[in-house]
Structure 1
Amino acid sequence: MSFVFRVLLTLATIMLPVASVAATDRAALVLGMADYQYLPKLDNTRNDALRMAETLEGIGFDVTLGIDVGAEDMTRMLEGFAFRAEVADLALIYFAGHGVEVQGENFLIPVDVQVQSNRDVERQSASLKQLLAAVEKARKMRIVILDSCRDNPLGDALAGDTSETTNASTAPERAGLAPANPDRGTLVAFAAKDGQVALDGRGENSPYALALMEKMVQPGLEISLMFRQVRDLVLQKTGNLQEPHTYGSLTGVPFYLAGGNESAGSTDAWAALKPDQEEQLLALAELGDTRSMLGLAYIRLNPNQDRFDPTAAIEFLQRAADAGSPEAQFELAKLYERGTGVEPDPAKALALYRAAADQNFADAINDLGFLHYQGGLGLPANPQKALTFFERAADLRHPQAQFNFAALIDDGLIPNKDPEDAAQYLYAALRSGSSDVLKLLSERPTMFTDQTRKALQAKLKDNDFYQGSIDGDFGPGTQRGIRRAYGLDG
């Protein structure tokens, strides 16, 4: 039996949740800009940020707070938070202050920006892309909330040519921010729908901040429904003058800012949803919301519930899959492969796996790797082709694929990859929160070559998790470094 096959079989056998070592963590960066030096000052943004930080801390977040920070400090805070967010289950950024659209891109303005043109905004402010990059490696969920665009002190007439500038006083006004298009698993929430202006409010806090803080502390309120209720509350409070909006597609795992049980599997977690929230899911599903369809399908796939109904689950999944949900396509593929609720249909299962993989759904790509390696669903065994799937899934930060691919590199089976590459994938799997990789590196490090172990020690040292010798010996010091890289105290 080849080493590759032994590794894949080992992973299929031991890749199980390890609750005793799994880290659960929530990190938030809260930024409030009010005392602008060269732009109109804002009344409530400081209050909103201070109270938001207090609210988030009260529901278990580790909060970093920045009030009236300049451009350099804002950049440093985002960089530091990005590293911190890698070991958080949920990473959240809340920004209250001036936000503007320039040439179709959104920018959040620090207090010391001296603006004569839109080009100054681009050079001196933080873009929404930077905020998204700061949360993108969080393990389960990523949220960016922009309580901004209370007014637009600039215009949007600057051309892309760096030689052309437009004075802010003569540029045409454009209210609000541009629509966002974040990656899967990331939610961007605007205080006001793109193209609209958010209201500062007549009290000490903005209507949006008040609605957020009221709803986010409500125990057991699933996060997609929470933002929906925030929208409805702001519309009510502002007489329909301001409509918050969310962009992005969350995973099918239910999540709660206060209360709830995210450690349960999808079917158990969705089944625990309160009846009134299930009714809201049904209403949203009728409006075409595919995540609500997924949640309803998971409820009906739970054999321990009186709502167990695989046929109804298939219908919800099929609707979501037809609407383009890669997660629904993947879940439906598994049901057709196993014959759960439907007659087994290998051809349909394979088509659904491929459809999900075409949308870069990492689970589907990783499973296609196994199918190609071992042969399955009518595919001939093709280990060489399987490697391309494993690499693709690994590069999409699928923890099991990262470990698999590191093992394949370590065995010398991937051309143009060396021990440093293997160590990088192992390090990435640790940072992504794979308790199985933590367990393997803690208990069976010698399954990797001495060269790969040394490269991993060097990687840990480069990131200040380890200070010992680069000798390939995974003694107490290296083990502490591995645990610290994973997000534990060591």
Structure 2
Amino acid sequence: MKRIVIVFWGILLFAKTLLAQQTGIITSASGWVKTVRQVAPVITWQSPQLTRSEQKVPTVRITACIQSVEPLTYHFFQNGKEIPNKRTGFKHIECGQELTEEITLEPGANEIHLTATNPAGTTTSDSRYVTYKMGPQTPPSPNAPKRLALVVANASYPKAALRNPINDGRTIRDYLQKVGFEVVLRENLPLRELKRTVDTFLVDLGRQKQNVGLVFYAGHGLMVNGDNYLQPVDADPSTEPDVEFECYPLRRLVAKMEQANPSGANLVFWDACRNNPYRSWNRSMGGPIHTTIAPPVGTMIVYATEPGKVASDGLEKNGLFTSELIRHIEEPGVDIYGLIERIDAGLEERGIKQPPYSEGRLRGKFYFVKPE
């Protein structure tokens, strides 16, 4: 009988250990085990409560509540750059763990978000936009159109990493801010975070009428059955049909932008598909990187190169397309068509046969910087 009892408790101890490895456990004083399913952190903003705010002081105190059963790490980001962690405050309250940080603002728009990571995954918070206005300013109309941009830069692909997208994304972010855009930059997004980021951006885009919405994508792109796809960093399709479920369709992005901002201007810059990591498929390196989408009036897509050609990284800090784009984006009085022509001419002067390509049209002329 004693041997049976020992064997029983040995089996129970083994089961508890295995369960702890898979889900985590909490053991009560009586010895009973309660399983705790591992879930990614949940982030709730405490302050600022408003998504957008303005102030005339150069610092802002932000507070968020993070729910997590497991130990976690967190990081703050301001305009896409990670902020050194000052650990101003971190305490346990009813909603979870309250985190407080004081941030020095940059003049103009500041996009602030944080990430929290535990063994179950990483969560990215919604963004808070704090505009720091120095000196007396005339407050803008609350219904005035805005310039909003989402920049997605994917480079850390396990099978075919890219060199330039992160540099391209950060550079484009800086230049778009110079010409009056509020910019959200996201890097190395898996599919779940990519969908969430796009949906959040579209909510902001639809808040006022006649906004200017811009999406810049740098990373791998795929074309399957006539549709183009943004490739998340966790996508690993083994066959062409897998792409539909593991990647994000460009056609869907265009349709959602038009739905959110039907009377405004929607721009997509597609600096994608430097090579094809899936050589066993029908589309080999050098194959077409996109097909015609026929976007609605008010939407324009600018591709880094023509159909049937591959966009090159080049040997510099930024890719070829991005390096020419930033040369001309601040020139006053250059409309979008003139900008494309200048990019083309700049690449030709450098001996590079990679003409950009566009489809769709906006309503009237669009300038990044209006004529002086």
Is 2:166 aligned against 1:46?
A: yes
Is 2:362 aligned against 1:250?
A: yes
Structure 2, unmatched stretches of 5+, are 1-139
Dislocated runs of 4+, deviation >3 Å: 19-22
Give the one of 304, 308, 315 matched to 1:202. 315
Give the one of 53, 59, 67 matched to 2:179. 59
SS in 1 for 2:361: coil
Per-residue CA distance 1:320-349 (angstroms, 9 max, x = gap): xxxxxxxxxxxxxxxxxxxxxxxxxxxxxx
Change (3 A) 1:172 1:81: closer
Change (3 A) 1:108 1:221: same
CA distance in 2, matches of 1:102, 1:33: 19
The residue number in structure 1 matching 2:280 is 169
Give the one of 213, 225, 234 matched to 2:326. 213
SS in 2 for 1:27: strand
CA distance in 2, matches of 1:121, 1:20: 44
Residues 239, 281 of structure 2: 8 Å contact kept: no
The residue number in structure 1 matching 2:220 is 98
Residues 251, 293 of structure 2: 8 Å contact kept: no
Which residue type is aligned with residue 328 of structure 2? Answer: K
The residue number in structure 1 matching 2:230 is 108
Which residue type is aligned with residue 151 of structure 1? Answer: N
Give the one of 126, 130, 155 matched to 2:248. 126
Give the one of 227, 233, 248 matched to 2:340. 227
The residue number in structure 2 matching 1:36 is 157
Residues 177, 183 of structure 2: 8 Å contact kept: yes
Give the one of 190, 197, 200 matched to 1:80. 200
Deviation at 1:227, TM superposition (A): 2.0
Deviation at 1:178, TM superposition (A): 1.6
Give the one of 148, 151, 161 matched to 2:272. 148
Per-residue CA distance 1:397-441 (angstroms, 9 max, x = gap): xxxxxxxxxxxxxxxxxxxxxxxxxxxxxxxxxxxxxxxxxxxxx
TM-score of the aligned structures, taking structure 1 as reference length: 0.44
Deviation at 1:240, TM superposition (A): 4.2
Per-residue CA distance 1:136-186 (angstroms, 9 max, x = gap): 1324211011001211223xxxxxxxxxxxxx6254523422233111111
TM-score of the aligned structures, taking structure 2 as reference length: 0.58
Structure 1, unmatched stretches of 5+, are 1-18, 155-167, 261-271, 273-490
Residues 240, 281 of structure 2: 8 Å contact kept: no
Change (3 A) 1:203 1:123: same
Deviation at 1:228, TM superposition (A): 2.2
Residues 34, 45 of structure 1: 8 Å contact kept: yes
Deviation at 1:85, TM superposition (A): 1.2
Aligned length: 227
Deviation at 1:246, TM superposition (A): 0.6
CA distance in 1, matches of 2:198, 2:317: 27
Is 2:300 aligned against 1:180?
A: no
CA distance in 2, matches of 1:118, 1:25: 39
- Specify which structure has the higher proportion of helix: 1
Is 2:145 aligned against 1:24?
A: yes
- Specify which structure has the higher proportion of strand: 2
Which residue type is aligned with residue 146 of structure 1? Answer: W
Which residue type is aligned with residue 66 of structure 1? Answer: R
Aligned-pair identity in percent equals 29
CA distance in 1, matches of 2:354, 2:301: 17
Which residue type is aligned with residue 259 of structure 1? Answer: K
Deviation at 1:135, TM superposition (A): 2.0
SS in 2 for 1:113: coil
Aligned pairs (5 A) from 1:192-341: 192-237=305-350, 239-251=351-363, 253-260=364-371
Residues 303, 356 of structure 2: 8 Å contact kept: yes
**Which region of structure 1 is more displaced relative to structure 2, 77-86 or 214-223?**
214-223
CA distance in 1, matches of 2:151, 2:183: 7
CA distance in 2, matches of 1:170, 1:120: 12
Change (3 A) 1:235 1:122: farther
